[in-house]
Amino acid sequence: MKKNFFYTLGLAMLLSATACIAQEQSTPVGVPQYELNDLSRVDISGFKKNADGAYVIFDGSSLNGWRGYNKSHVPAKWSIEDGTLKFSRKPNGDEKAEGGDIIFAHDFKNFELAFEWKISHAGNSGVFFLAKEIKKQPIYISSPEYQILDNDNHPDAKMGVDGNRKSASLYDMIPAKPQNAKPAGEWNSSKIVVKDGKVEHYQNGVKVVEYTILTPEWEALLQSSKFSAEKWPLAFHMLKQVGKDAGVIGFQDHGDDVWYRNITVKEL
């Protein structure tokens, strides 16, 4: 009886130690520990499709499927206004209303995301994809960013390298060329295509950025950006492996008024 007891105890301790070692090995040395949030997801099959076979995830009348990043509800600064999904810096004059990024709560891996947007004067926002919800971390730590910007008036347009913080750019990594964004207050059409690791950014009908994630070239891009292993170890770790699994689509609260409409996703 004693032999069986000590054998069982020893085996349990060994398995526990092995599990701890495996957990430690999953995060490289020097990278802070993190925890994924296990929040609700929506069944995409319940959404209508348009003539092109894309799911209409925002039709101008409902926020079904949407919620705040790392939240179970839609923050007050996001609302429907005249058929658009709007972020307001001061909804009803209340600058202290709850804000934060917003996501569509479904994981996509190979897809075509299409949307229209307009930005306020000197405004800044962004579109995220393949993102994970990580507790106590911002969405952009695990997601590429399609930049949304008033190129003429926001200071970010003159920062970065070669215009890689202007509209439709892969933020802080690849500039959108040609740069064909319309001025603040005017509607732009955009599209992001992700297929087997290849990513394309479109703006107003023109392909302006192309790159491939999960490659040495992708890692080099990260290393030359604000997300490098030296500057931001956790972001580098997360972004280096972005696209291995499906992730959510999100829109950024950067503190400036921005409008989105006609948001669709076609699974590829």
Q: What per-residue confidence (pLDDT) applies to 28?
A: 77
The answer on pLDDT for 140 being more than 70 is yes
Kindly report the average pLDDT of the chain as a whole number.
91
The answer on pLDDT for 147 being more than 50 is yes
Strand partners, 118: 259
Which band of pLDDT confidence, cut at 50, 70 and 90, is reported for residue 5?
very low
Which band of pLDDT confidence, cut at 50, 70 and 90, is reported for residue 16?
very low
How many angstroms separate the CA atoms of 263 and 79, rounded? Answer: 15
- Contact between 205 and 189 under an 8 Å Cβ cutoff? The reply is yes
- Give me 171's structure tokens: 């933020």
Comparing 30-44, 79-93, 98-112, 157-171, the range with the smallest average pLDDT is 30-44
Q: What per-residue confidence (pLDDT) applies to 24?
A: 38
Residues 200-213 have pLDDT tens digits of 999 999 999 999 99
Residues 229-240 have pLDDT tens digits of 999 999 999 999
The answer on pLDDT for 17 being more than 60 is no
Residues 211-231 have pLDDT tens digits of 999 999 999 999 999 999 999
How many angstroms separate the CA atoms of 75 and 266, rounded? Answer: 26
Domain ranges of the chain: 1-30, 34-267
Which strand ranges, in their side-by-side order, compose the sheet holding 145-149? 66-68, 102-108, 247-251, 124-131, 145-149
- The dihedral sign for the CA sequence 195, 201, 203, 208: negative
**CATH for 34-267 (3.40.350.10, 2.60.120.560, 3.20.20.10, 3.30.300.180):** 2.60.120.560
How many angstroms separate the CA atoms of 256 and 268, rounded? Answer: 33
